[in-house]
Chains A and B, each alone.
Chain A
Amino acid sequence: MSARIGVVTFPGTLDDRDAARAVRLAGADAVSLWHADEDLHGVDAIVLPGGFSYGDYLRAGAISRFAPIMDGIVDAAHGGMPVLGICNGFQVLTEVHLLPGSMIKNEHLHFVCRDQTLRVENAETSWTTEYREGEEIVIPLKNQDGQYVADDRTLDELEAEGRVAFRYVGWNPNGSRRDIAGITNARGNVVGLMPHPEHAVEPGFGPDSRESGRRGTDGLGFFTSAVKGLLAIA
């Protein structure tokens, strides 16, 4: 039996195909979910991919959060289902209050696209068990509204509870508070981050690695973590 991981497409989502491919490369079945679906078609986990859902109108993720499928996702997340929000998906998770804080425009106002080094700060979430705590990984980053902000109390809470899942290393590309690249909920099943693990899953199509160009597959661990966790429960 293989795990079934749903990948949600909103109008304006861009990275759903890559996310589905990452799910398949990790050994799971990728199930396409449409934003207007009323139910989750029996999937075991959910990926909210990147892009510009609803054109980022109003605020990134602000309109997607009211899509019909989101009620089911919120319920499932509260029930412990692994949910990963990447970039725009992370913005949706904050707008729907599954994760605290919000993203505003990058401090320098430029769109950034680069291979970004991150440190895995929490290797116990549903999406990070295949990493070691403190491990540095390189995956692509591409966004304009990537500056993570929250009030100091929330940030202190995240730090104290080990809920900062990833931090930027070397350069903070968007002015995010405390170099935060991604966070998790208290239970560890909901994870959101701005950089894109789904673009670093297959040799030849990822970031440059130490060994050779485009060989980086540091993002695959997100998906294999979820698959292993799901199969352990099944």
Chain B
Amino acid sequence: MARKVTGAKTAIWTAAAWLVGFIIFFPILWMMLTSFKTELDAFSTPPSFLFFHWTTENYATVQERSDYTLHAMNSIITAGGSTLIAMAIAIPAAWAMAFAPTKRTKDILLWMLSTKMMPAVGVLVPIYLIYRDFGLLDTRIGLIVVLCLGNLPIVIWMLFTYFKEIPKDILEAARMDGATITKELLFVLTPMALPGIASTLLLNVILAWNEAFWTLNLSTSAAAPLTTFIASYSSPEGLFWAKLSAASTLAIAPILILGWFSQKQLVRGLTFGAVK
């Protein structure tokens, strides 16, 4: 890569790249700016970019409406809970497939992948009816179950691709060193797999947090996570833009930060290891 690049060219490319990046990011930036405006400023034409009356009252308002906290809690509990359960099921399975593969391992992996391809809308009716009959509609448990199962294939796949990169030799070395299976898992595999486990966890929280088909269809109020809560802003037209922006900013900020941390792992996670 030791190629000489002229300064002028670099400057042009840099400017172009920053411009493109800025345009792509702009809607989010605009939303964040709007969240600090008064409702009047938010609605004004021509729009004010920076020189408006900065206020945090929208955040206060959003915060005061006690249901915001409730929905944020719902998001945290459903995204976090579904992820933890999925990890608990997926880690042993991925370990088995990576380190004790059988002739059918590949088929099982591909079959798991294919369950993810089933369009949710295809099973909307039965899931809705089962949930209705078992009283799971608009419950956190119900959402956790559906989010957990929906993301399980991705979790297993991601963990599998990470585990597979751990050299088998090292686990065998531990076995030769007299470690039992439990000790091998605890002292050798887990510390080595930790980065992979962490990024799988992160990506899965993001996916669950942003899931907006099941959450919209299976929750209405008590268990509604932020996706559903934000959707409720679509009905009263206009005039709540600043508050909508503030609520939206709060809803995406944590995940945006988590996402930025996990972006390097995103590609392989979402392409099932087909692109690294």
Do A and B come from the same complex?
Answer: no
